Structure 1
Amino acid sequence: MPVEEAAGCCTGDGFVWLGLFEPSPEELERVQSAFGLHELAVEDAQTFHLRPKIERYEGGFELAILRTARYDDEREEIDTGEISIFLGKNFVITVRKGVASELHGARTRLEQHPELLRVGSASVLWAILDQMVDCYAPVVAELDRDIEQIEATVFSGTVAPTERIYFLRREVTDFYRAVHPLLAVLASQVQPNKWPADLLPYFRDVYDHLVLVSEEVAAQRDVLGTILEANIAVISVEQNKITLRQSATMEQLTIFASIFLPLSFVVGFFGQNFDWLVTHVQSFTAFAVLGIGGLALPCVLLFLWFRRRANLPMQ
């Protein structure tokens, strides 16, 4: 249906729901002109926001900006999207951005509650919020699964990839920024006399579900902070073990060097072949005393010194 024709249907007690997916600036200009939307509201619909919000503009319509989320099992990442909702008395215009902004579930909800359609265009806002909050629950469950896997790795004493923990914590933080500010948006929708009495209980139900999701996401942030600290502690323990092994190796090498240093001196001394050695080392006895004894004596002295050092108390 052309935009102008859709705008012409905004009469009587009914309303028109016009859905747009990543429209061009030219398409939004046509919608703005046809429905009399405020230019700042249209500008907001073209910008990707980090925080959900709802604002009322002149002309009797409200703009709600919502963040959507969907977990991708293959990539183990969260896909996000955004839905901008122009809500007037006789029209609802939804501007969707991102792959996670599909609204088929919201239409199905309205088909299952035809009595709510008689309330007016606010029923579409409820259906979209209800679908969006319901889609948050699987994301929370998948994040819990990822966190439990990392938690089991870290608390088993094994070092987990720090990059994976940081990435997961960043995703949880981004998800929290989408969920937590929405509490204020929904709180403004459950005030008495905000909507007809038939619709208020449905908004309260969505708000209750959102409170639970927000609390779970906040708990996930805290758990990931604890896991990160524990992983750093595990890394420190592993580094200490490596340092101890290196120290033990260096100690053994030092002992061997200490043993062979005097032996090398003795061998080098007697290997000079000067006149005194040539004239005095002419029998096996002289060789045994000067040669073998010269090697054995340093070994005995080193043995006695190491043994004495081992018996000394630690300073």
Structure 2
Amino acid sequence: MAMTKVRPGRATMSLFRTRGRPHASASSNGGPRRDTAVIDWAAYIDGNRVSTETVADAVRLIRDGRLTADGDSAGFVWVGLHEPSAAELADLADVFGLHPLAVEDAIHAHQRPKLERYDDVHFLVMKTVGYVQREPGGDEVVETGEIMIFCGADFVVTVRHGAHNELGPVRRRLEKNPGRLALGPAAVVHAVADSVVDGYVCVADAVQEDIDEVEEAVFSPDRTDESRRIYRLKREVIQLKRAVGPLAGPLRNLSGRRFVPAEIKEYLRDVEDHLTRVREQVEAYDELLNPILQAHMTQVTVGDNQDMRRISAWGALFMVPTAIAGIYGMNFEFMPELKWKYGYPMVLGIIAVTCVSLYRGFRRNGWL
């Protein structure tokens, strides 16, 4: 079926307040302003997108079965939202029967990755990550967001918090593969999970580059202070670990759910394999940064010891003339060689020979 634009009849009552496409208008700072949290929606029939003017039209299209003679549309609705308000999500909750606890989690975010079931609706939470610079020329940091997915028999509602892992490209890639979309809402769940895990891979590779730079700097002959950067990387790795690690259980449980077709289960296992690789990679980063930090601190200690040894060696060199000059400066009347005309050159010679001998000895032992 080709992509069409359908406006269903008015036989079905309005399910919730009609929300049109978001539009940009001038805001106080001159930038675009979005007047609704709804980013995109569509009805999908046999894997093909059917555009409608409102979300309510898409729901009526699927649930009224307007496109088949037997009254069964065999499709689903995909509604995508970005940081919705309580009122906006409450409209969808009434239509799709979303559990109040899951709706509250989707509004406030800051949840651990998890998979829960409320009657016939599955609720999946995933952390998104990005490696960004908070200020120009500053250090890169790991920023996290969240994607929540409500998955039912004839609908998928994706709720995104944060600026990472936009789902527009995911939707467009899926729409180029009608055969995959025809498998139902589980295909959307897999595509979103795959996009999130791919984001983990990109951030993990970027962190790996920074760790390699720090490791090279620590073991270079130039003395640099990398302790601050190492501690920052350890903090970012911990942040990444908190996002990646807890998702393994929900993905594993998702692969075993009955609403997921066998074809999608194969793809989910592939996503789980990628997640396992990233998780092991992140754990290795944490283990690698500890010896790098220890090596750096050891090098700092060795450098300080070398400085102290060099200072002590120069102090010993200056101690010889100071001691001899101090002896002859005591102003006693009877002191050896005071009346001898070669006494002064002799003392200077002794000082010079002693200092040269000490200098050569310190150089031979690596103190200078």
**Fold-level match, TM-score > 0.5?**
yes
**Distance in 1 of aligned mates of 2:351 and 2:278:** 71
Given the alignment of the two structures, is residue 64 of structure 1 paired with residue 124 of structure 2, yes or no?
yes
Is the partner of 2:129 in helix, strand or coil? Answer: strand
* Mapped contact 2:111–2:125 kept (Cα < 8 A): no
Secondary structure in 2 aligned to 1:23? coil
After TM superposition, the structure 1 = structure 2 runs for residues 20-39 of structure 1, keeping only pairs within 5 Å, are 20-39=81-100
- Secondary structure of the structure 2 residue equivalent to 1:199: helix
Query: Residue in 2 aligned with 1:189?
Result: 254
Match of 2:205 among 141, 156, 162: 141
Match of 2:29 in 1: none
Q: How much does 1:98 deviate? A: 1.0
Q: Are residues 1:255 and 2:320 paired?
A: yes
Q: Deviations over 1:106-148 (max 9, x none)?
A: 2133123311222211111001011111222222221111111
Which residue, 123, 128, 131 being the options, matches 2:187?
A: 123
1:7-55 alpha-carbon deviations (Å, 9 max, x no partner) = 5455253211111111122222323233322121111112333631111
| Cα distance between partner residues in 2 of 1:241 and 1:48 | 53
Larger Rg: 1
Q: Give the match's secondary structure for 2:108.
A: coil
Structure 1 or 2: larger helix share?
1
Checking the alignment, whether the CA contact within 8 Å between 1:157 and 1:234 is kept in structure 2 is no
User: SS state of the match for residue 109, structure 2?
Assistant: coil
- Which residue is equivalent to 2:151? 87
Matched position secondary structure for 1:248? helix
Compute the TM-score of the two structures, normalised by the length of structure 2. 0.70
Distance 1:224 1:138 in 2: 19
**Shift in Å, 1:65:** 0.9
Unaligned stretches of 5+ residues in structure 2: 1-17, 20-54, 64-71, 359-368
| Alignment coverage as a number of residue pairs | 292
Q: CA separation in 2, counterparts of 1:116 and 1:56? A: 24
Kindly indicate whether residue 104 of structure 2 is the aligned counterpart of residue 104 of structure 1: no
State the identity %: 37
TM-score in terms of structure 1 length: 0.80
CA RMSD, 1 decimal:
3.3
Task: With a CA cutoff of 8 Å and minimum separation of 6, indicate the structure with the bigger relative contact order.
Answer: 1
Change over 3 Å in CA distance of 1:300–1:206 after alignment to 2: closer
2:186 touches 2:261 (CA, 8 Å); kept in 1? no
The structure richer in strand per residue is 2
